[in-house]
Amino acid sequence: MINSQNMDNSDDSDLPEDLLVGLANVYKIYRTSEIETVALRGVSLSLFEGEIMGVIGPSGSGKTTLVNIMAGLIKPTAGIVYWSAVGADISRLSDNLITQIRNQFVGIICQISESNLLPQLSVIENVMLQGRIGSRSSSELKKKALELLERVGLKSRRNSRPMVLSMGEKQRVALAAALINDPKIILADEPTGSLDYKNGEELLELIHEINENLGTAFLIVTHSQQVVPHAHRVIEIRDGIKAGQHEEIELDNLDSSRIIIPDDQGRILLPRELVKGLDANTSQFKAILKEGKIVLEPIVTSLSRKSIIFQRNHQEEVVCTICKTVNIGKSILCSNCGSLLRKAGRWST
């Protein structure tokens, strides 16, 4: 995890040498005229050279936002986005500068697979497209594109248009295109989302092969269990928070396989079953360290005391100060004249 203080001082000397991208306490708030959405709430994570990281989480949990921020495509509302290619936080750099550096540093496979390839270009032209920004000659670029198409098993389809390719083939071309500038990282947002199991498996095996042979690091967002055996580690995003890490995954019940890692702010997500199993009156705890274990010790809270008083008081007789009627029960208004018997706000917490 990166050290935000050092980042602020632009001194990255104590950062791990193999750190490629590091997020420290990243927030993203989307604002529209009607609504404000907090998509990320203080996420910190590190992607290291040569690793394959899986990212899982329910729809709307902030996965695509995370990818776009790591790719420098959108700016965080707060927090630090470190790129080793710059040796510093990129969140204050201009979009132009980020685009130039991104081209050599990060390859991207988008969640919407149609966005990855231009329909009017052939397969090989699509693969060459992002490489044109660099200084390579056309023949060099073409040679590289053919090599990559061979690697993904689609050299023979180089002159086809994307529309005649299967979904699996399109994603393999997208992978080749993402590799044209020899990036250190590929950020892949649900690359297998539109594929059946067999095509998904082929793509993941290809990613594995490229990772092992070219050393490219991958961050793969997924809704599918299929990615797990191909990833070195899998993190879980939930409600914009890094909820934990998984070694084996029960997709239907992520609570059961989550390894909790307290984040920079000490936040942890408890399994719902555990919380459900608590005594109804136990709603607050003190966290204490006992023999190397964090123990949550229930405490009698002012909240629970108040609610007890609330219940007891409501059984008491209350005489209306206006009409003198004796009221028994829960009502805060006199049953006879409707006057206020007790302030409702007194019981709020």
Ligand X SMILES: Nc1ncnc2c1ncn2[C@@H]1O[C@H](COP(=O)(O)OP(=O)(O)OP(=O)(O)O)[C@@H](O)[C@H]1O
Q: Which residues bind Mg ion (CB under 5 A)?
A: 63-64, 111
Among 25, 44, 46, 64, binds ligand X (CB under 6 A): 64
Instruction: Tell me the DSSP string of 292-345.
Output: TEEEEEE---HHHHHHHHHHHHHHSEEE-TTT--EEESS-SB-TTT--B-S-GG
Q: Contact with ligand X (CB under 6 A): which of 63, 157, 158, 170?
A: 63
Nearer to ligand X, 29 or 333 (CB): 29
CA gap 201, 189 in Å, rounded:
16
H/E stretch holding 107 = strand 106-109
Q: DSSP secondary-structure letter at 113? A: G
Q: Using the rule CB under 6 A, is 108 a contact of ligand X?
A: no
Among 25, 46, 65, 113, binds ligand X (CB under 6 A): 65
Out of 42, 54, 57, 191, the only residue in the binding site for ligand X (CB under 6 A) is 57
# of chain residues touching ligand X (CB under 6 A): 13
Decide if residue 62 touches ligand X (CB under 6 A).
Answer: yes
Of the two residues 55 and 81, which places its CB atom closer to Mg ion in the complex?
55
Other beta carbons within 10 angstroms of residue 26's beta carbon come to 26
Q: Match 């229930």 to its residue by tokens.
A: 298
The verdict on 224 binding ligand X (CB under 6 A) reads no
Residue type, 254: L
Q: Which stretch binds ligand X (CB under 6 A): 59-67, 157-165, 297-305, 333-341?
A: 59-67
Give the residue from 77, 71, 12 showing the smallest Cα distance to 240.
Answer: 77
> Of these partners, Mg ion, ligand X, none, which one is at the site of residue 25 (CB under 5 to 8 Å by kind)?
none
Residues 6+ apart with CB under 8 A from 163: 119
Partner that binds at residue 79, options Mg ion, ligand X, none, CB closer than 5 to 8 Å by kind: none
Check residue 37 for interaction with ligand X (CB under 6 A): yes
Query: What angle (nearest 5°) sits at the alpha carbon of residue 63, between those of residues 271 and 241?
Result: 40
39 is a site residue for ligand X (CB under 6 A)? yes
Stretches 7-15, 62-70, 88-96, 150-158: which one binds ligand X (CB under 6 A)?
62-70
Q: Does 113 bind ligand X (CB under 6 A)?
A: no
Strand, helix or coil for residue 110: coil
- 63 versus 151: smaller Cβ distance to Mg ion: 63
Task: CB nearer to Mg ion: give 149 or 221.
Answer: 221
Binding segment toward ligand X, per CB under 6 A, in 58-66, 132-140, 155-163, 268-276: 58-66
Give yes or no for a contact between 147 and 85, defined as CB atoms under 8 angstroms apart.
no
41 touching ligand X, by CB under 6 A: no
CA distance 12 to 4: 10
* Near ligand X by CB under 6 A: residue from 13, 33, 59, 159: 59
Nearer to Mg ion, 63 or 102 (CB): 63
Taking a C-beta distance cutoff of 8 angstroms, is the pair 38, 29 a contact? yes
Q: From CA 12, how far away is CA 22, in angstroms rounded?
A: 11
Interface ranges with ligand X (CB under 6 A): 30, 32, 37, 39, 57, 59-65, 111
